[in-house]
Amino acid sequence: MKMSSAISRFMAGAAITLCLCGGSAMAADGLLWFADGRPAPQARQAIELLAAAASQGLEPQDYNASALQQAIGQAAQGSAPEPVTVARLEAALTTALERYLSDLHRGRIDPQRIHHNYHAPRSDGFEPAAYLRAAVQNQRLAQAAREAEPGLPLYARLREALGQYRERVGHPAWQQALPPLPGGKLAPGQAYAGLAMLAQRLAVLGDLAPGAPDAQLPPRYEGLLVDAVQAFQLRHGLAADGVVGKATLAQLQVTPAARARQIALMLERLRWTPLTQSPRMIVINIPEFVLRAYEVRDGRIHVQQEMKVVVGKSLDTRTPLFDEDMRFIEFSPYWNIPPSIARAETVPKLRRDPGYLAREDMEFVSADGRVDQTVSAAQLDAVLAGRSRIRQRPGPKNALGDIKFVFPNHDNIYLHHTPATQLFERDRRDFSHGCIRVEQPVALAKFVLKGMPEWTEDRIQKAMRRGQSATLRLAEPVPVLIAYGTALVKEGRMFFLEDIYGLDRLLDAALRQRTQNLSSIKE
């Protein structure tokens, strides 16, 4: 029996694809997708899922969706395909659905490949082949696919936003770039040739009330337009001053297609970032410069504390991404200056100005624990050689402030307070050497010590003010997750944050390479 042209073309590469991609063999108790030699209704449901993979931020071509759709369609309309063709189509569709469900549930990329050093997730019992077979046998494929998605409300909101931004692709508001700003910036009260285009973009994005007729636009940049720009700036992590400068203009020029890709990258991250691994968690989102302490109940996140943080500098001292358990709190801590900072900063300062040691309440500590507060060439050489270290005593000048939250890790990263509280007023807060400074240490300590009721707020504050270093072991460890997300939905609005560490670019490149590799296998 002669195969249709679509099936024939599909079958030309099917054997190679199935061999290299681990296709499932036909089950002994029957086929999943064919009945009496014809595609069953659930085959059409499967094809619809694969064809709509883009709505999940996935790539339909990763699942050979177009070729499968054409082949299954012709198998349904033409003469009945031969048994060997049915078997191969059955296996190819099964392979595609298993990969789709796995990608949807677990993600497509090993996060450690792109510097997200999270522990391997606890097994939730999800096995794509068994999950798929049960779904088809129970005639609930579409529902099972929805249940395979991450159960986070943020995931569903981002999917909705993804659809909205894709609808804006090709909108006239982005057909040409905004004109150059007068004098390098646009301040309230100035004239600007791009006012109509600016208003159109802000209206499409929801920052300016839609439908405002162009005739009502003021002749200068003022009023509702300034308010709309401030709303836009707030959603993009910028100073909401209403002045369109270089940074604001750059964000206004980003196309809906680029924003849709940014949302898709965040959907991928949500599949493997362990945001609900424990009943109580502390999560820092690096691009947002925000810490949230929350409880997880019935799979839902309930935020207990939210505060600003200062993170590692984007240029040279980035805060690494990982998850570890917080086990200790240090009150009135010493600051043991890391060797890299001592070599690059502290020792050179002491060579120029020996009095710096006393002014900053610092001292030398030798390998055998001896403390010395005298600056000498020998002491400085010992620090450089690793035979001694420099530490800062507890007190008002201590760089760690009056409390330190310890979650042991290879990078020696921890949370702490700081005497430089003015930095929390900045919109962009990457100023540290890698550790994370927290805005509200008492509130965080109360969350961490919730299971130790004897540690009241008053007792916490007294321990912080005592000026004598003391370490407290937590009764229950609290997981700390350092995460990275540049596309968020907050209070029903879409927020986009700068990719300060370039990790979106790494993820994007890794996903594109994966799609390219899968395409080369199919060929």
pLDDT in tens, 184-218: 999 999 999 999 999 999 999 999 987 664 557 78
Interacting residues of 17 by C-beta distance below 8 A, sequence separation 6+: 23, 64, 92, 95, 521, 522
Distance in angstroms (rounded) separating the CA atoms of residues 316 and 387 = 26
Which pLDDT value is given to residue 310?
Answer: 98
Which pLDDT value is given to residue 15?
Answer: 38
Which pLDDT value is given to residue 79?
Answer: 67
Q: Does 410 lie in the same domain as 384?
A: no
Average pLDDT, stretch 512-518?
A: 94
Q: What is the pTM for the complete model shown?
A: 0.90
Does some domain include residue 122?
yes
In the predicted structure, residue 294 carries a pLDDT above the cut 90: yes
Greater confidence (20 vs 405) lies with 405
**Which of 105, 116, 417, 435 is the catalytic position?**
435
Greater confidence (455 vs 210) lies with 455
Q: Does 300 lie in the same domain as 420?
A: yes
Which pLDDT value is given to residue 28?
Answer: 38
Interacting residues of 415 by C-beta distance below 8 A, sequence separation 6+: 282, 291, 309, 326, 404, 405, 407, 435, 436, 437, 438, 444, 480
Q: Is 27 left (phi over 0), alpha (psi -120 to 50) or beta?
A: beta
Average pLDDT, stretch 279-283?
A: 97
Contact in structure between 161 and 262 (CB atoms under 8 Å): no
The first and second tokens of residue 312, run together, are 């590692």
CATH number of the domain enclosing 446 = 2.40.440.10
Does some domain include residue 77?
yes
In the predicted structure, residue 20 carries a pLDDT above the cut 50: no
Which pLDDT value is given to residue 8?
Answer: 52
Which pLDDT value is given to residue 14?
Answer: 47
Does some domain include residue 475?
yes
**Which of 116, 416, 417, 433 is the catalytic position?**
416
Greater confidence (266 vs 124) lies with 266
Q: Does 479 lie in the same domain as 425?
A: yes
Q: Does 77 lie in the same domain as 226?
A: no
Q: Does 374 lie in the same domain as 311?
A: no
Contact in structure between 336 and 455 (CB atoms under 8 Å): no
Does some domain include residue 196?
yes
Query: What's the first-to-final CA gap in the chain, in angstroms?
Result: 26
Contact in structure between 391 and 336 (CB atoms under 8 Å): yes
Which pLDDT value is given to residue 84?
Answer: 79
Average pLDDT, stretch 305-328?
A: 96
Decide: helix, strand or coil at residue 398: coil
Q: Could you please report the per-residue DSSP string of 490-510?
A: ETTEEEE---TTSHHHHHHHH
In the predicted structure, residue 513 carries a pLDDT above the cut 50: yes
- For the stretch 337-357, pLDDT in tens is 999 899 999 999 999 999 999
Q: Which of 93, 121, 152 is the last residue of a domain?
A: 152
Which pLDDT value is given to residue 86?
Answer: 87
For the question of residue 105 being annotated catalytic, the response is: no
Which pLDDT value is given to residue 42?
Answer: 93
Average pLDDT, stretch 495-507?
A: 97
Q: Does 101 lie in the same domain as 18?
A: yes
- Work out how many domains the chain is built from and give that number: 4
Q: Does 79 lie in the same domain as 138?
A: yes
Query: CA distances (Å), 118 to each of 113, 274, 323, in order?
Result: 11, 8, 6
Greater confidence (169 vs 19) lies with 169
Which pLDDT value is given to residue 7?
Answer: 52
CATH number of the domain enclosing 228 = 1.10.101.10
Q: Does 351 lie in the same domain as 320?
A: no
Boundaries of domain holding 441: 273-332+400-485
Distance in angstroms (rounded) separating the CA atoms of residues 345 and 420 = 18
- For the stretch 129-158, pLDDT in tens is 999 999 999 999 999 999 999 999 999 999
In the predicted structure, residue 122 carries a pLDDT above the cut 80: no
Count of residues in the chain: 523
Q: Does 409 lie in the same domain as 359?
A: no
Interacting residues of 185 by C-beta distance below 8 A, sequence separation 6+: 243, 244, 245, 246
Q: Does 135 lie in the same domain as 60?
A: yes
Q: Does 415 lie in the same domain as 295?
A: yes
Q: Does 101 lie in the same domain as 123?
A: yes
Distance in angstroms (rounded) separating the CA atoms of residues 90 and 262 = 35
For the question of residue 19 being annotated catalytic, the response is: no
Which pLDDT value is given to residue 23?
Answer: 38
Query: CA distances (Å), 163 to each of 136, 326, 395, 508, in order?
Result: 28, 39, 53, 19
Distance in angstroms (rounded) separating the CA atoms of residues 90 and 44 = 12
Round the average pLDDT of the chain to a whole number and report it. 91
Average pLDDT, stretch 64-93?
A: 86
Which pLDDT value is given to residue 4?
Answer: 53
Q: Which residues pair with 38 in a beta bridge?
A: 35
Interacting residues of 250 by C-beta distance below 8 A, sequence separation 6+: none
Average pLDDT, stretch 31-52?
A: 92
Query: In 3D, which of 332, 334, 328 has the Cα closest to residue 472?
Result: 328
Query: In 3D, which of 340, 370, 300 has the Cα closest to residue 435?
Result: 340
Which pLDDT value is given to residue 80?
Answer: 64
